[in-house]
């Protein structure tokens, strides 16, 4: 009995080490009829609360059982002591993802190609370039203002989405004292930094970073805007959700220019919808999407840039971050009139 | 009872919760709906129970994007259990056509001689092969169950990607797929990794069983790692559970080992002790 208890203690210790602390699905493979019978009996024990996702049918065929967390040790000890082999589904899945990451790194010998770049922004650039000298609005605009495009604000993050993890969100900075990488660049600005709507956990997707402007991607824009001294509008482009938003994100209090920003957003969204019928919602960040602290537009707004807007482009969740490339040009095409509305308003309302 | 802004996130989230319910319980991969926009929404606090939303919203076909009419729904967010939904949708589509499409898809999947397997739907460029659309639709239907279970008034989900899909050929004529999927969670922006088994049987009953990697994570202190960051720092797989402890987990270990329920309770049937 003592031997068993020691074993149990070891088992408890190692379970605590596992990444996923909850119920598990075990894939069990019985090697003979005797083991099949044992598995069936295991399933019949009501107190173990085992749920068979795939019943044990015959030797060699996997059976899947979901085991509640408090019963895990008992079940695993039982399987081990009876020589029944099993694996843990979610951890196997993690391994699958791991393997995939390795294969991707191995096969990354591709030529750098145009298809990797942000086509939508190029489309906008093209509009400006083509219309200048022909379209009076665009001509007037470019004659009175300078427009700076930063097409990719997180270059190594962007590269990472193509080399390793297509859904990577944050920067790629190393976090001291943590094995998790990256800071959310849209929570790292000095506006309500660290407040609700951002996380202090380096492993979180909305980690705000160790301090405001800790990220070089953010600091470089801060420095540019401050040294330029005459930036009148800032438009930050994201996906997804189909929203056009303005400050504040870090607090629910309406911004001093709320009325004007709201009216302009309403017009822009209406002109966007006129192209293909794509519907956007609009409003302050806090009202429209959620409380988010330390965002780009909040900082810009509080640092002299009255017309600070955030676009969340297509779609509303069906493809989400994995929008089909066939939608790139239509997205850019419909966003163009909305951008123009904002820029023309800025031009006509100098401050 | 107070009227809400139909533009608000709460409104669209509640509408999606209603659609998750309808997409799962409808058991019809050809009849899935997505939200177009919310037309009217109001909410009522119910003391000791939760908040109930009343919604009218426009929908479209999940796969094709074609308009599919309006729905009326109530969504009751409760403290300890999943949201309670009532939904009624106008039938603008030909029901017979949908049923026929379901039958066609069902037969197509059922008559595969080699089980369908696939990775990444949609792929990194957002594309889905035409032949894999039914596999995607089935995952949308199944994952709606997960998303309904997990949704809260301030927490919403979307199916971000199917990482793997694997068909299991069955003798009983049902269609079965095993998926690993990523659910995008708002507002935390986390990607929840889930394993899901979807069974679609002859009489159009669709069931999904699932387990998500972040289940049982009530701790907010970072002892849980999400897909985005976790892919970087994976732990070795545990099939043989006797492994060395790593220093980074001694903190979480303390919390977990304190679980009172973790004590061994061994089945008392004599049959098992025979093997000791």
Per-residue pLDDT of A282-298, as tens digits, reads 999 998 888 999 999 99
Picking from A303-307, A326-330, B90-94, B264-268, which range would have the lowest pLDDT averaged per residue? B264-268
The domain of A29 spans 24-94
- Give the integer Cα–Cα distance in Å for A77 and B169: 31
Residues A246 and A341 in one domain: yes
Query: Which among A148-157, A205-214, A310-319, B267-276 has the top mean pLDDT?
Result: A205-214
**Do the chains contact at A322 and B216, CB–CB below 8 Å?**
no
- The count of domains in chain A is 2
Residue B271 has pLDDT above 60, yes or no: no
Residues A133 and A236 in one domain: yes
Q: Which domains does chain B have, with CATH numbers?
A: 2-89 (3.10.450.10), 95-272 (3.10.450.10)
Sheet holding B2-3, edge to edge: B2-3, B33-46, B50-61, B67-78, B84-89
Q: Which of A215, A217, A312, A334 is catalytic?
A: A312
Tell me, yes or no, whether A9 lies in a domain: no
Mean pLDDT, to the nearest integer, of B170-193? Answer: 93
Amino acid A97: pLDDT: 60
Please report the pLDDT score of residue A89 as a whole number.
Answer: 80
**Residues A300, A172: one domain?**
yes
Q: Report pLDDT for B164.
A: 95
Are A320 and B160 an interchain contact pair (Cβ–Cβ within 8 Å)?
yes
Residue B181 and residue A212: Cα distance in Å, rounded?
Answer: 34
Q: Is the pLDDT of residue A119 over 90?
A: no
Decide if pLDDT at B39 tops 50: yes
User: In this predicted structure, what is the pLDDT of residue B215?
Assistant: 61
On chain B, the residues whose CB falls within 8 A of the CB of A78 are: 266-267, 272
Rounded to whole angstroms, how far apart are CA atoms A215 and B62?
Answer: 39
Indicate whether A175 and A279 sit together in one domain. Answer: yes
Given a cut of 90, whether residue A258 has pLDDT beyond it is: yes
- Residue A67 falls within a domain, yes or no? yes
Residue B13: alpha-carbon gap to chain centroid: 15
- pLDDT for A92: 66
A14 is a domain residue: no
Q: Could you report the per-residue pLDDT of B108-119, keeping only the tens digit for each?
A: 999 998 999 999
**What pLDDT is attached to residue A52?**
87
Q: CB of B187 within 8 A of CB of B173?
A: no
In chain B, residues with a C-beta closer than 8 Å to the C-beta of A15 are 241, 256, 262
Whether A204 sits inside 8 A of B226 (CB atoms) is yes
Considering the domain architecture, whether residues A161 and A292 belong to the same structural domain is answered as yes
Tell me, yes or no, whether A143 and A88 share the same domain: no
Confidence check: pLDDT of B155 > 90: yes
Question: What is the per-residue pLDDT for A106?
Answer: 53
* CB < 8 Å to A324, chain B: 122, 125-128
Determine the average pLDDT of the residues in A68-74. 87
Residues A55 and A157 placed together within one structural domain of the fold: no
Assess if residue A311 is contained within a domain: yes
pLDDT band at B91 (very low <50, low <70, confident <90, very high): confident
Q: Inform me whether the pLDDT recorded for A272 exceeds 60.
A: yes
Q: Which of A80, A317, A324 sits opposite B158 (nearest CB)?
A: A317
ipTM for this model: 0.79
**Do B188 and A14 lie within an 8 Å CB cutoff?**
no
* Mean pLDDT on A71-84: 92
The burial class, CB within 10 Å (0-12 / 13-18 / 19+), for A314 is buried
Active-site residue flag, A41? no
Band of the pLDDT at A100, cuts 50, 70, 90?
low
Mean confidence (pLDDT) of chain B: 79
Q: Quick check: A203 pLDDT over 90?
A: yes
**Who wins on pLDDT, A19 or B131?**
B131
A94-109 average pLDDT score: 56
CA distances from B241 to A80, A312, B2, B249, B273 (A): 10, 44, 53, 15, 22
Q: Count how many pairs of residues, chain A against chain B, have C-beta atoms within 8 Å.
A: 268
**Per-residue pLDDT reduced to its tens digit, B4-24:** 988 888 999 999 999 999 999
- Nearest-CA neighbor of B153 among A194, A290, A243, A281? A290
Q: What is the DSSP string of A122-149?
A: HHHHHHHHHHTTTSHHHHHHHHH-----
Query: Does B207 contact A at CB distance below 8 Å?
Result: no
Q: How far is Cα A175 from Cα A337, in angstroms, rounded to an integer?
A: 41
Assess whether pLDDT exceeds 50 at residue B248. Answer: no
pLDDT digits (tens, 9 = 90+) for B40-56: 999 999 999 999 999 99
Query: What is the average per-residue pLDDT within A149-156?
Result: 92
Do residues B6 and B40 make contact, with C-beta atoms less than 8 angstroms apart?
yes
Examine the domain organization and report whether A259 and A322 are in the same domain. Answer: yes
CATH of the domain at A165: 3.40.630.10
DSSP state of A244: E
Q: How far is CA B193 from CA A55, B96, B159, B213, B253, in A?
A: 24, 36, 10, 6, 22
Flag whether the pTM goes above 0.90.
no
Out of B187, B245, B272, closest to residue A17 by CB: B245
Q: Is residue A227 part of a domain?
A: yes
Query: Is residue A191 a contact partner of residue A250, using CB atoms and an 8 Å limit?
Result: yes
Band the pLDDT of A299: cuts 50, 70, 90. very high
Query: Is B231 in the A-facing interface, judged by CB distances under 8 Å?
Result: yes
A288 in the same domain as A150: yes
Which residue in chain A is spatially nearest to B229 when comparing CA positions? Answer: A180
Q: Is the pLDDT of residue B261 over 70?
A: no
Residues A73 and A136 in one domain: no
CA distances from A112 to A62, A101, B125 (A): 44, 19, 16
For residues B232 and A19, the answer to whether their CB atoms sit within 8 Å is: no
Band (pLDDT 50/70/90 cuts) for residue B242 is: very low
Q: Give dist(CA A208, CA A3) in Å, integer.
A: 49
The mean-pLDDT minimum among A83-92, A216-225, B27-36, B232-241 falls in B232-241
Q: State yes or no: pLDDT of A241 exceeds 50.
A: yes
Task: Residue count of chain B, please give it.
Answer: 276
What is the C-alpha to C-alpha distance for residues A157 and A168, in angstroms, rounded to an integer?
7
Cross-chain residue pair B193–A93, CB shorter than 8 Å: yes
**Same structural domain, A223 and A298:** yes
Tell me the pLDDT tens digit for each residue of A12-62.
333 332 334 578 889 999 999 999 999 999 988 888 888 888 888 889 888
Answer whether B195 sits within 8 Å of A8, measured CB to CB.
no
- Helix H or strand E segment including A310: strand A307-313
| Token pair of A62 as six digits | 């996997």
Q: Give pLDDT, residue B1.
A: 83
pLDDT at A105: 53
Instruction: Say if residues B251 and B223 touch (Cβ distance below 8 Å).
Output: yes
Closest-CA distance of chain B to residue A17, Å:
6
- What's A33's domain CATH number? 3.30.70.340
Residues A222, A149 share a domain: yes
Under DSSP, the state recorded for B262 is G
| Eight-class DSSP state of B152 | B
From CA B117, how far away is CA A157, in angstroms rounded? 30
> Does a structural domain hold residue A237?
yes
The stretch A309-330 carries a mean pLDDT of 92
A203 and B230 within 8 Å at the Cβ level: the answer is yes
**Alpha carbon distance B266, A1 (integer Å):** 12
Q: Does A7 score more than 80 pLDDT?
A: no
Q: Is residue A4 part of a domain?
A: no
Does the pLDDT value for residue A346 go beyond 70? yes
Q: What is the pLDDT of residue A289?
A: 86
Cβ-nearest to B275 among A82, A165, A324: A82
Q: What is the pLDDT of residue A276?
A: 95
Closest alpha carbon within chain B to A201: B222
What is the rounded CA–CA span in Å between residue B273 and residue A293?
Answer: 58
- A1 in a structural domain: no
Please list, residue by residue across A174-213, b when 16 or more beta carbons sit within 10 angstroms of its beta carbon and e when fewer do: ebeebbbbbbbbbbbbbbbbbbebbbebbbbbbbbbeebb
Res. B237: pLDDT tops 50:
no
The neighbour count for residue A99, using CB atoms within 10 Å, is 10
Per-residue confidence (pLDDT) for residue B172, from 0 to 100:
87
Q: Assess B86–A contact: CB distance below 8 Å, yes or no.
A: no
**What tokens does A141 get?**
């605009």
Residue in B closest to A239 by C-alpha = B189
Task: Give the Å distances, CA to CA, from B238 to A91, B225, B233.
Answer: 7, 17, 15
- Asked if residue A204 has pLDDT above 60, the reply is yes
Place of tokens 């960051």: B229
pLDDT given at position A103: 55
* Coil, helix or strand at residue B23: helix
State yes or no: pLDDT of A114 exceeds 90. no
């Amino acid at each position: 009995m003592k031997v068993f208890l020691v074993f149990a203690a070891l088992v408890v210790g190692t379970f605590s080490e596992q990444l996923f602390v909850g119920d598990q699905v075990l894939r069990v493979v019985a090697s003979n009829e005797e083991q099949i019978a044992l598995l069936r009996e295991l399933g019949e024990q009501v107190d173990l609360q085992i749920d068979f996702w795939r019943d044990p049918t015959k030797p060699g065929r996997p059976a899947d059982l979901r085991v509640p967390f408090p019963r895990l040790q008992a079940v695993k000890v039982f399987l081990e002591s009876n020589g029944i082999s099993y694996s843990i589904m979610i951890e196997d899945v993690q391994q699958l993802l791991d393997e995939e990451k390795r294969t991707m790194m191995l096969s990354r010998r591709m030529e750098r190609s145009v298809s990797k770049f942000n086509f939508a922004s190029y489309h906008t650039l093209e509009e400006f370039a083509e219309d200048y000298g022909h379209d009076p609005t665009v001509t007037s605009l470019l004659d009175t203002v300078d427009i700076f495009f930063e097409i990719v604000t997180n270059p190594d993050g962007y590269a990472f989405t193509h080399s390793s993890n297509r859904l990577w969100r944050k920067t790629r900075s190393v976090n001291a004292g943590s094995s998790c990488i990256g800071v959310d660049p849209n929570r790292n600005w000095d506006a309500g930094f660290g407040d609700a709507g951002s996380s202090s956990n380096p492993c979180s997707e909305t980690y705000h970073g160790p301090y405001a402007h800790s990220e070089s991607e953010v600091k470089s824009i801060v420095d540019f805007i401050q040294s330029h001294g005459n930036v009148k509008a800032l438009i930050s482009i994201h996906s997804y959700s189909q929203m056009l938003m303005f400050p504040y994100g870090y607090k629910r209090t309406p911004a001093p220019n709320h009325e004007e920003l709201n009216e302009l957003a309403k017009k822009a969204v209406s002109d966007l919808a006129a192209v293909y019928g794509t519907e956007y919602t609009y409003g302050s960040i806090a009202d429209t999407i959620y409380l988010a602290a330390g965002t780009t537009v909040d900082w810009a707004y509080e640092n002299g840039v009255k017309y600070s807007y955030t676009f969340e482009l297509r779609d509303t969740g069906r493809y989400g971050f994995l929008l089909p490339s066939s939608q790139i040009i239509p997205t850019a095409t419909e966003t163009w009139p909305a951008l123009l509305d904002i820029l023309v308003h800025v031009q006509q309302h100098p401050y | 009872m107070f009227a809400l802004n139909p533009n608000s996130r709460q409104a669209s989230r509640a509408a999606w919760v209603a659609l998750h319910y309808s997409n799962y319980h409808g058991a019809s991969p050809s009849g899935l709906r997505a939200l177009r926009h919310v037309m009217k929404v109001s909410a009522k606090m119910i003391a000791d129970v939760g908040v109930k939303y009343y919604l009218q919203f426009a929908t479209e076909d999940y796969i094709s994007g074609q308009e599919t009419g309006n729905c009326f729904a109530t969504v009751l967010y409760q403290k300890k259990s999943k949201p309670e939904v009532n939904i009624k949708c106008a039938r603008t589509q030909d029901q017979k056509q949908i049923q026929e499409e379901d039958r066609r898809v069902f037969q197509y999947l059922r008559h595969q001689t080699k089980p369908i397997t696939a990775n990444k739907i949609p792929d990194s460029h957002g594309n889905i092969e035409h032949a894999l659309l039914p596999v995607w639709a089935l995952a949308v239907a199944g994952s709606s169950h997960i998303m309904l279970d997990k949704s809260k008034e301030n927490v919403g989900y979307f199916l971000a990607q199917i990482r793997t899909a694997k068909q299991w050929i069955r003798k009983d004529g049902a269609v079965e797929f095993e998926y690993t999927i990523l659910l995008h969670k708002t507002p935390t922006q986390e990607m929840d990794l889930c394993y899901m088994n979807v069974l679609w049987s002859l009489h159009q009953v669709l069931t999904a069983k699932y387990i998500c990697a972040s289940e049982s994570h009530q701790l907010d202190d970072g002892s849980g790692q999400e897909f985005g960051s976790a892919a970087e720092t994976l732990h070795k797989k545990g099939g043989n559970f006797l492994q060395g402890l790593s220093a980074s987990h001694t903190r979480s270990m303390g919390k977990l080992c304190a679980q009172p329920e973790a004590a061994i309770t061994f089945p008392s049937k004599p049959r098992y002790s025979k093997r000791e």
